[in-house]
Structure 1
Amino acid sequence: MAVRKAYVLILVETGKAESVVKALRGKPGVAGADMVVGPHDVVATLNGVDADAIARTVVNDVQAIRGVQRTLTYMVIGD
């Protein structure tokens, strides 16, 4: 079963959530991004051809955004 979707919970610096969401929405592989209330500040939905592609997007694109402090990735395993 190939992983093609993931949810990424993102902790950001205070006051940076809106700019992180805007940056995420312009990245390839990012299907959506929203600010949320809770222990994390942003939730992003990523799509990729497989788990490796999604992991590369997280490491190379999501974590590189200014203000991102930490990410937690949940790979979707069902339909």
Structure 2
Amino acid sequence: MADDAPDDSSSTPGTAVEAGISITVEDGLWIADDEETGLSSQGPTKADALRNLAATLETVEEGETDDGDDWL
């Protein structure tokens, strides 16, 4: 099955990708903002920004469920 989704260069910045996630472009970087957590991440493409945000959210979630060992 072919992927009919537009590539990053033709996607409209400033729109919601999912509920609570917004995408903007600033200085050539795509910015993905999670409005619920206040976290954001960026990347050279829309897909990279979303992938980086997902990794950030996963890291925060892992930290919240940590067994108490402080690795810092």
TM bucket (normalised to shorter chain) is: 0.3 to 0.5
Q: TM-score normalized by structure 1? A: 0.33
Q: Which has the larger radius of gyration?
A: 2
Q: Which has the higher strand share?
A: 1
- Between the two structures, name the one with larger relative contact order (CA 8 Å, sep ≥ 6): 1
